[in-house]
Structure 1
Amino acid sequence: MSDAFFSKPRPFSKRKRDDAAAASRQASRHGTSVRGAALSRGGKERANGRKGAAGAGANGARNKGKRRAEEDDEELDADGGDFDSDDVGSDEAEGAEEGTDEEDDLETPAQKRLRLSQMYLKSLEKDKEEEYGFDAADLDRDIIAERLQQDVLEHTGKMHLSVASTLQLPIPSTSIFRTPAKGHRGSVTAAVASHDGRWLYTSSKDGAILKYDLSAITSPSSDSSSPDSRRITRAAYFAKALSESQKRNGEKHKRFDGKDKGKGKETVSEGHTDEILDLAISHDGKTLASAGRDKVIGCWNVEGEGGKWLRGLGGHKDAVGSIAFRLGTNELYSSSFDRTIKLFDLSTLSYIETLFGHQDSIQSIDALRGELAVTAGGRDKTVRYWKVTEESQLVFRGGGASRLRNVSDGALEDEGIEEEEPKRRRRQAEAKGRVKFVEGSIDCVAMVDDSTLLSGGDSGTLCLWLITKKKPIFKVDLAHGINEHASETEGIIGTPRWITALSCLPYGDVFASGSWDGQIRLWKIDERLRSFSPLTTIEAPGFVNSLQLIAPSLRPTKESHLAPVSTVKDKKAEPEPKSLIVVAATSKEPRLGRWMRFKEAKDGAVVAVIPMQ
């Protein structure tokens, strides 16, 4: 009986007690009539006697209920103070059944105070939900569920981020930023941003690395009303190290930058001794890797605002042309001009294994979350898809088939010739005199997901590949146009602008390509992964030597569900704006040489923040 009593909400005002007494009288009469009907089977006289006794009992219960109500009101005033039970818990009490007098006698003052406290806490939770519009515990569960769903989608290895349709185009000029003019003393070869959009790193042919702070332009709390405050500011400088000959000659390295211009400032001789050709940063933003022409892979600890040289990893016999981290890990893939690929674990700064297969220097490498990698083989005109755990590779051949190429590749002389000749004649008939450029080198590669990839070469053609097809399923010729120049003997000669850089949003439907036509082109991939179409362009004069696409706001942060209720409330009221960030390294010269030069171009990095709907 006591358990049933404590599970019922009870009213505590005098007005409610009067209503309860009236309800008790009605219930008592109702109970008397029922009992009288039941006893009618035994005799009418005995039922009438019982009815008289029940009436007398009802009168006694009414008097006792009034006395009990007065005692409860006095006790409530002494214990509860100004607490008004009409405002707290009255909704639950109105529809509840009243307890009997025997149940009232079982409740002690301590139990009553406990019940009042529980009702008060419930009222506070209800007021919080009415004021904030949500429950913090429910919000935590939603954030955790969203993160788990995102992890599951990423581990499936399929494209799942539909970003292209949400981009707000065209891109305003106020959303495109450049690094400060006084930076590197050589051509910029690479630029990479941390995955949270906070830091930017650029490398150069002068062997140095610059670190910039992007919080003023990428943070949602940045003041967009004042353009002067939205700038990229320099945070740290990692100088070039002294070579062995310079050390033997007793030379000291001098750093000249900004405030120290004209003053020689000695630095620690740790770093690269030659040009830096590529950069890569781990997913957690703590480790930066650099690829050098000095055959060394540099490892840097870049936590906080500064940076520290950890170690140089060797093993390659020629320049390291490209590097890429496996997403979510500290495993690093490196490709070299010695035609090999090496795998390192930067958490222990150790070497794992070497992969062989390319017949020419490897120009580009890319990787995602899976234990997979893709490479562009340059003049061997192949794209190779590496399955690291299975120690196997898939070879995709660009360009056209020919007997000479089959012999050089070690295949049968007539393999693919019968299929290629009719296609070539048909293309010539359709072109009607239009010049067709043959692909002689594949220089760039990027992964869309674990089974789809992109490539670009010296013919200016962008190709979309599936690992289940031997030929590209879709391609766009002359993606960045033709460059025309005058010749004294041949007149006007047109040559395609080759693809110098290529990058895709990991598991997304947007990718970017760069050349030397002064524009970065964004493309949208069809949801069926069968074609792609142009989206927009970004002004970037000079050679685009590297590209990167990140979307920091698409993935919920680990700290979001740990924030206080007031902070979460503010974020709920004003959702954090989402954006796609495009990072590009632009220069006067190509990344791997100096056979062309644009004097009007600027060396540095371009950062475009494209808002999403």
Structure 2
Amino acid sequence: MKRDKKFANIKNKIQNLKKRKTTPNEKKRQVQYNEDDDIIHSSEEEFEVSAEQLAKTADDDDEKVIRDASEVVEQKEEEEKLTAAEKRVLNAKQFLDNLKQYEEDKEDQDEYNQMLNEQDPIAQALKREALKAKKQIPSSYHKYLEELDFKDEGVVTFLKGHKKPPTCISLDNTNSQQLKGFSVGKDGCIINWDFNKGSKISITKKAHDNLEILSCALSFDGNILATGGKDCKIRLWDTKTMKQIDVLDGHFKPVTSLAFQMGHLSNITGSSNNSSYAYQLYSGSMDRTVKVWDAKECSFVDTLYGHESEVQGIDTMITPHALSCGSDATLRYWKVEDETQLIYKSSTTKYSIDCMKMLRENCFLSGSQDGSLSLWLKTKKKPISHFPSAHGGEWITSVGALRFSDIAASGSSDGYMKLWRCDPNTKVLQLKNNIPMAGFINSIEFNSNGQFLAAAIGQEHRLGRWSRRPQAKNGIAIVKLLSEETIEKAKLDPSNNYVKHSDRDNEYDDFAGDEEEEDDSGNFFL
């Protein structure tokens, strides 16, 4: 209907132009100048513009409109003479031509993006560091975890510091020889730890106006610490002086989770302190939003909407993507630059997903309030492995992952931390060992080479007081997993299978062969 109306308008325009013979009289002003550019004579005379003169003086655009309109009208008249079958064939040919043109344009754009990526030294450095970090973790690592006896003296060290339950811990991975980090707690304090010596470097009290601190994250170079709490604010700290750098306002409910973009740019001269990309910070809140910040510039970047309830956790790795979980029982994978999200929802549980961690860019582990653990691939809308009642029916309060490996840990309040092998190839969650640990395990972190594990232990859950374990102690547990000699021995194991990477964009994905699939209900892509 609209198409016929358009053709009718074009016909009328052509007819009107052909009928037009003359235009209204117009005045032409003639001006003469002397050598000094002064006006010495001026006169006006009337003249009439004929249709022939109009056609000669018409600009190219009008002529093109008339020519194109005539072609369209002729094409429509020809189409009216075609049978229904011939019209279908014609439409199919036009569709194929359009599709071919689209593919050519897309190929040109991909080549252009690849050229830009090859010229970006920061992106290349992040890729090199990702590969370097991955090769530090042998695939036979899990075999040696089975042999450990965590009841031996010196394997688990407990450090006291917080007067109330600690809620989160973040390790400094800039130096694998020195184990340092930060912890925050319900007492409103930030403690800077030297775990090698088992001592506190500094204590910052009333860091969030004496309110509870629920989350913390450390930048890739260890220079900036971000903390979030019940004051609904994110505070940035200089880790060398523990002086507050700035306050990021934006959330209107408590900040439950924080995560810095992962990456090391020290091998680029002058780039490590100038790249905002490496200081990208993600925050999740009870206000149901995920926000993106530039911690270097102390500025807001974007707000990501989608969760229908409180955001419980957030994580990220090398690429500018983030993974979040919430009380709406969903995981959401945010493609920040594309402004899209992937939604993951398990058919086996409808309870809140309280915690998750990324093992690789495309593989992650989640824990739910019903006590189950789930292993996910980015390309699958449902978990590839599900382990119900992983902690005897108690809800999962935290999970930790050894980056670029298949090793993870889960915590609850059943008296044990559990070590798992998460193998996406066999699609199996395999329990490897149990670590006795009384109380609520509120946060778990591995150091970069998998030699140590740190956990924040409290008498209460980090977000509330629904239950209490009075026999537990508030503090930080340091678990020695493997010695340097054992790790080197594991690297020489002939069963190791290091994944070879290409120079393509899916370089970070070890299982990129599967295509992203769309949910039947259409809720996988948004």
Which TM bucket (shorter chain)? Answer: 0.5 to 0.7
- 1:212 maps to which residue? 193
- 1:352 maps to which residue? 301
User: Does 2:261 correspond to 1:326?
Assistant: yes
Question: 8 Å contact 2:363–2:424 — kept in the other structure?
Answer: no
Provide TM-score, normalisation by structure 1. 0.53
User: Does 2:326 correspond to 1:389?
Assistant: no
Shift of 1:382: 0.8
Q: Which amino acid aligns with 1:588?
A: Q
Q: Which amino acid aligns with 2:171?
A: A
Secondary structure class of the residue paired with 1:480: coil
Q: How does 1:478-493 map to 2 (within 5 A)?
A: 478-481=389-392
* Alpha carbons of structure 1 residues 148 and 312: separation in structure 2 relative to 1, 3 Å: closer
Q: Which amino acid aligns with 2:467?
A: M
Greater mean deviation of Cα atoms: 465-474 or 497-506 = 465-474
Shift of 1:440: 1.6
- 1:186 maps to which residue? 164
* Alpha carbons of structure 1 residues 372 and 289: separation in structure 2 relative to 1, 3 Å: same
Question: 8 Å contact 1:373–1:386 — kept in the other structure?
Answer: yes
User: Which string of whole-angstrom CA distances, capped at 9 and with x for unpartnered residues, describes residues 264-291 of structure 1?
Assistant: xxxxxxx444110011111211111111
Q: How does 1:556-595 map to 2 (within 5 A)?
A: 580-595=451-466
2:243 to 280, 302, 308: 308
Q: How does 1:229-268 map to 2 (within 5 A)?
A: 232-241=198-207
User: Does 2:129 correspond to 1:151?
Assistant: yes
* Alpha carbons of structure 1 residues 148 and 460: separation in structure 2 relative to 1, 3 Å: closer
Shift of 1:158: 11
- 1:336 maps to which residue? 285
User: Does 2:437 correspond to 1:540?
Assistant: yes
Shift of 1:528: 2.0
* Alpha carbons of structure 1 residues 440 and 235: separation in structure 2 relative to 1, 3 Å: same
Q: Which amino acid aligns with 2:435?
A: I
- Determine the C-alpha separation between the residues in 1 that align with 2:126 and 2:213: 38
- List alignment gaps of at least 5 residues for structure 1: 1-146, 217-231, 242-270, 401-437, 482-495, 555-578
Secondary structure class of the residue paired with 1:174: coil
User: Does 2:148 correspond to 1:169?
Assistant: yes
Secondary structure class of the residue paired with 2:154: helix
More strand by share: 2
Percent identity, please.
Answer: 35
- Determine the C-alpha separation between the residues in 2 that align with 1:370 and 1:522: 27
- Determine the C-alpha separation between the residues in 2 that align with 1:395 and 1:318: 23
Q: How does 1:487-566 map to 2 (within 5 A)?
A: 496-526=393-423, 528=425, 530-551=427-448, 554=449
Larger Rg: 1
* Alpha carbons of structure 1 residues 527 and 375: separation in structure 2 relative to 1, 3 Å: closer
User: Does 2:216 correspond to 1:279?
Assistant: yes
Question: 8 Å contact 1:272–1:296 — kept in the other structure?
Answer: no
Question: 8 Å contact 1:159–1:448 — kept in the other structure?
Answer: no
RMSD of Structure 2 on Structure 1 (CA): 2.3
User: Which string of whole-angstrom CA distances, capped at 9 and with x for unpartnered residues, describes residues 78-134 of structure 1?
Assistant: xxxxxxxxxxxxxxxxxxxxxxxxxxxxxxxxxxxxxxxxxxxxxxxxxxxxxxxxx
1:460 to 363, 366, 371: 371
Secondary structure class of the residue paired with 2:311: coil
Secondary structure class of the residue paired with 2:464: coil
- 1:598 maps to which residue? 469
- Determine the C-alpha separation between the residues in 1 that align with 2:292 and 2:227: 14
- List alignment gaps of at least 5 residues for structure 2: 1-124, 264-277, 487-526
More helix by share: 1
Provide TM-score, normalisation by structure 2. 0.61
Q: Which amino acid aligns with 2:291?
A: K
Question: 8 Å contact 1:272–1:292 — kept in the other structure?
Answer: no
- Determine the C-alpha separation between the residues in 2 that align with 1:179 and 1:272: 25
- Determine the C-alpha separation between the residues in 2 that align with 1:333 and 1:149: 21
Secondary structure class of the residue paired with 1:164: helix
Question: 8 Å contact 2:164–2:458 — kept in the other structure?
Answer: no
* Alpha carbons of structure 1 residues 314 and 154: separation in structure 2 relative to 1, 3 Å: farther
